[in-house]
Amino acid sequence: MKYSSISEAAAVYGIPESTIRYYEKKGLLPLIERDQAGRRLFSERQLALLGAVICLKNTHMPISKIKQYMEWIVEGDSTLERRLEMMQRHRQAVHDEISLMTQYLSGIEEKIERYTKQIQEIKNGEEVRSR
Amino acid sequence: MKYSSISEAAAVYGIPESTIRYYEKKGLLPLIERDQAGRRLFSERQLALLGAVICLKNTHMPISKIKQYMEWIVEGDSTLERRLEMMQRHRQAVHDEISLMTQYLSGIEEKIERYTKQIQEIKNGEEVRSR
DNA sequence: ATACGACTTAAACCATGGTTTAAGTCAACA
DNA sequence: TGTTGACTTAAACCATGGTTTAAGTCGTAT
């Protein structure tokens, strides 16, 4: 099996090494192996789990919940229902956030239209006055 | 003209009064009038500006930028182009964020599918064993 | 007159999510 | 053998975005 160092894992996801260490300390990355020198070894599986952490973090799940989720993964099949329920709730939360952002987006687009028109009007006015 | 108190303004947007005071202190709400007793008076116009601040904040514009934007509004028509450009950039940023969230959303949906299947398989297995 | 509720301020405090620093260990190469 | 580079730790530090506290001022209803 191929293992990656922390610098390689960091490069894969484009995040600083310090963030990975921070996540491990917070309990978001259980089961990371070490070599004889104490350096972290990331298996493919560990890399995938780190990807899951990053996905949840980027969709605004708080660290405390991500931690709970990762603990359930380690616990095994007995937590499948709980994980399913958590992901269903999270899907809803992400969906709601996307809807809200989309609404705000159209507010922003209205502003852009207004500004564009106002600027055009001012330009037209200047054109007329300069004749 | 009708004016609202800070508590009414807070109720309109469902935010704490303390947040409005904080925004004003940070320079996000210039030009708020006061009554003889020093209490804030929100005109319709001020309420609309507060709404704009909340829109920008909820789409993750940092307070320092929102402040810049509000200062440009106060400055008047000479800043129309700058405001337009800022809103165009922000539209792009919001759009990008929505895209990213949408991608992560399908990752979450995949997890939900996997969990659902696994749970079904385990249930089927139990059913068979119990006969 | 006084008590109440709504408001005021400045300053301290808080939570979240990291980042930086300092001091040290290890493996490999010159 | 010694120096270099990648890694380790714990603890301090930071930025962002508020929230809370303490002490005080008004205007109105009783």
Model confidence at A131, in pLDDT bands (50, 70, 90)?
A: confident
Residue found by looking up tokens 């829109």 in the block: B55
Query: Is the CB of A120 inside 8 Å of chain B's CB atoms?
Result: no
> For residue B2, which amino acid is it?
K
CA A38 to chain centre: 29
What is the DSSP code string of B77-120? Answer: GGGHHHHHHHHHHHHHHHHHHHHHHHHHHHHHHHHHHHHHHHHH
Q: Does residue B11 or residue A128 have the better pLDDT?
A: B11
CA distances from B27 to A104, B44, B54, B69 (A): 22, 19, 14, 10
Rounded Cα distance, B75 and B78, in Å: 7
**Nucleic acid strand C within 7 Å of B29 CB:** no
Q: What is the mean pLDDT of chain A?
A: 96
Model confidence at A81, in pLDDT bands (50, 70, 90)?
A: very high
**Nucleic acid strand C within 7 Å of A19 CB:** yes
Calculate the angstrom distance between C1' of D6 and CA of A10. 14
**Pick from A16, A13, A5, A72: which is nearest to A40 by CA?**
A5
Enter the CATH code of domain A1-75.
1.10.1660.10
Token pair listed for B44: 């319709």
> Is the pLDDT reported for residue A94 higher than 90?
yes
Other Cβ atoms within 10 Å of B46 Cβ, number: 19
**Phi, psi angles (nearest 5°) of residue A29:** -130, 75
Least Cα separation, residue B88 to chain A (angstroms)? 7
Model confidence at A130, in pLDDT bands (50, 70, 90)?
A: confident
**Partners of residue B101 in chain A, C-beta under 8 Å:** 58-59, 94, 97-98, 101
> Is the pLDDT reported for residue A2 higher than 90?
no
**Partners of residue A101 in chain B, C-beta under 8 Å:** 58-59, 94, 97-98, 101
Least Cα separation, residue A61 to chain B (angstroms)? 12
Span A17-75, pLDDT tens digits = 999 999 999 999 998 999 999 999 999 999 999 999 999 999 999 999 999 999 999 99
**Partners of residue B115 in chain A, C-beta under 8 Å:** 80, 83-84, 87
Q: Three-state DSSP class for B34?
A: strand
Query: Is the CB of B14 inside 8 Å of chain A's CB atoms?
Result: no
Span B103-113, pLDDT tens digits = 999 999 999 99
Domain limits, chain A: 1-75, 80-131
